[in-house]
Homo-oligomer: A and B are copies of this chain.
Amino acid sequence: MTKPQPKQLRRAYGFDEVAIVPGNTTINPDQTNIHFTIGDLEFAIPIIAAAMDAVTDVDFAIAMSQLGGLAVLNLEGLQTRYDNPREILAEIARAPDEEVTSLLQKIYSQPIKENLIGQSIQAIKQAGAVCAISVIPSNAKSFAPIIAEAGADILVVQSTVTTSRHTSKSYRGLIFDELCKSVPMPVVVGNCVSFDACLELMRTGISGILVGVGPGAACTTREVLGVGVPQITATMDCASARDEYLKESDRYVPIITDGGFRKGGELCKAFAAGADAVMLGSIFAQAKEAPGLGYHWGMSHPHPALPRGTRIKVGTNGTLEQILFGPTSVTDGSQNLIGALRTAMGVCGAADIKEMHQAEMVIAPAIITEGKSWQFSSRR
Contact = CB atoms under 8 A, between A and B. Distances in A.
Interface string A9-39: 1111111111111111111101100000000
Contact of A265 (B13, B194, B225): B225
A244 B3 CA distance: 8
Nearest to A268: B226
Most buried by B among A21, A28, A102, A266: A21
A52 to B, nearest CB: 16
Interface string A132-143: 000000000000
Interface residues of A, number: 123
A191 to B, nearest CB: 9
A167 to B, nearest CB: 4
B305 A327 contact: yes
A231 to B, nearest CB: 8
B166 A25 contact: yes
A96 interface: no
A351 B351 CA distance: 48
B163 A4 contact: no
A306 B336 contact: yes
A373 interface: yes
A19 B12 contact: yes
Interface stretch (A61-69, A146-154, A176-184, A361-369): A361-369
A19 B229 contact: yes
Contact of A26 (B14, B162, B220, B348): B162
A162, A339, A369: residue with the most chain B Cβ atoms closer than 10 Å: A369
